[in-house]
């Protein structure tokens, strides 16, 4: 039995682990004695990624993410019991869920609704624009789905949040304020979390990568910072 000493990280878009240089990153952190024992389970996405990732029960304006609830069910009811059986343990130390882009949105949604399982969520360049109304059809920032889910939640899950953006994540700027939407949406999510009572000092970490792009090269550079924050010694 590994017991509570072993941490667990679930990672969406597991097919990208080679591009993320994840094995080398983990080895480097262990060699430097910066990481406590952590099992990483990288979940390969299927052909229906655009339907399985999202916010459960809240498809976007184009009806994408319609199977997010089924994906959540798979993770909680099928994958986690299989992991516990494979690792011969019933309990982990710190349990995290992380993802990139739409996979980051998915990780955030699942962790938010299952704080009895997860302790920390990592959102790399998260698709926090996910919205119930299309631009030009009455859209306002209140139509961002994840922000609304958190804002309207009657509970404050016991979670920590690690959020990353890159200054070159995109060029879109909906409100023409000179700040790209990826950063605006992430900062607004942080403000929404703070309004729920979370603190930047203890609960929220934000990393803005200057020159960072919406790709695995940027996320690979940011990954050690997330891993140490989540599972470091």
> Mind listing the pLDDT tens digit for each residue in 80-134?
999 999 999 999 999 999 999 999 999 999 999 999 999 999 999 999 999 999 9
Percent of the chain with pLDDT over 90: 95
> Mind listing the pLDDT tens digit for each residue in 80-92?
999 999 999 999 9
Dihedral in degrees, nearest 10, Cα atoms 1, 8, 68, 212: -160
Collect all residues with Cβ–Cβ distance below 8 Å to 20 and sequence separation of at least 6: 216, 219, 220, 223
For the chain, counts of helices (H) and of strands (E): 8, 6
- φ/ψ region of 125 (left if φ > 0, alpha if ψ in -120 to 50, else beta) reads left
Residues 139 and 98 sit within 8 Å (Cβ to Cβ): no
Confidence of residue 1 (pLDDT cuts 50, 70, 90): very low
Judge whether residue 2 has pLDDT over 80.
no
User: Please, what is the end-to-end C-alpha distance for the chain in angstroms?
Assistant: 21
Q: Which CATH entry fits the domain spanning 3-231: 3.30.420.40, 3.40.50.1820, 3.40.109.10, 3.40.50.150?
A: 3.40.50.1820
Mean model confidence pLDDT for the chain = 96
Confidence of residue 197 (pLDDT cuts 50, 70, 90): very high
Confidence of residue 3 (pLDDT cuts 50, 70, 90): very low
pLDDT value at residue 5: 80
Residue 79: how many CA atoms within 13 Å on its side-chain side? 19
Nearest to 184 by CA among 197, 195, 170: 170
Collect all residues with Cβ–Cβ distance below 8 Å to 47 and sequence separation of at least 6: none
Q: How many CB atoms lie within 10 A of CB 103?
A: 26
Judge whether residue 4 has pLDDT over 70.
no
Q: Are strands 7-11 and 95-100 parallel, antiparallel or unpaired?
A: parallel
**Per-domain residue ranges of the chain:** 3-231
Residue 149: how many CA atoms within 13 Å on its side-chain side? 23
Dihedral in degrees, nearest 10, Cα atoms 165, 171, 173, 177: 80
pLDDT value at residue 219: 98
Residues 2 and 87 sit within 8 Å (Cβ to Cβ): yes
Instruction: State the chain's maximal CA–CA distance in angstroms.
Output: 56
């Amino acid at each position: 039995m590994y017991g509570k000493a072993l941490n667990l990280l679930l990672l969406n878009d597991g097919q990208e682990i080679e591009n993320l240089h994840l094995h080398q990153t983990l080895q480097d952190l262990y060699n430097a004695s910066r990481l406590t024992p952590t099992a990483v389970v990288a979940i390969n996405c299927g052909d229906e990624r655009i339907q399985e990732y999202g916010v459960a029960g809240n498809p976007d304006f184009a009806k994408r993410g319609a199977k997010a609830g089924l994906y959540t069910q798979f993770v909680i009811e099928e994958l986690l019991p299989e992991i516990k059986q494979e690792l011969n343990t019933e309990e982990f130390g710190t349990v995290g869920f992380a993802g990139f882009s739409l996979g980051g949105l998915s990780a955030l949604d699942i962790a938010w609704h299952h704080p009895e399982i997860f302790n920390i969520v990592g959102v790399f360049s998260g698709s926090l624009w996910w919205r119930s109304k299309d631009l030009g059809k009455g859209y306002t920032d209140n139509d961002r789905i994840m922000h609304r889910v958190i804002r309207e939640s009657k509970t404050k899950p016991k979670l920590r949040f690690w959020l990353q953006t890159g200054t070159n994540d995109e060029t879109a700027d909906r409100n023409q304020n000179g700040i790209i939407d990826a950063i605006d949406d992430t900062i607004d999510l942080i403000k929404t979390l703070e309004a729920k009572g979370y603190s930047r000092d203890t609960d929220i970490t934000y990393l803005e990568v200057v020159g960072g792009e919406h790709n695995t090269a940027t996320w690979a550079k940011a990954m050690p910072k997330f891993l140490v924050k989540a599972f470091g010694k």
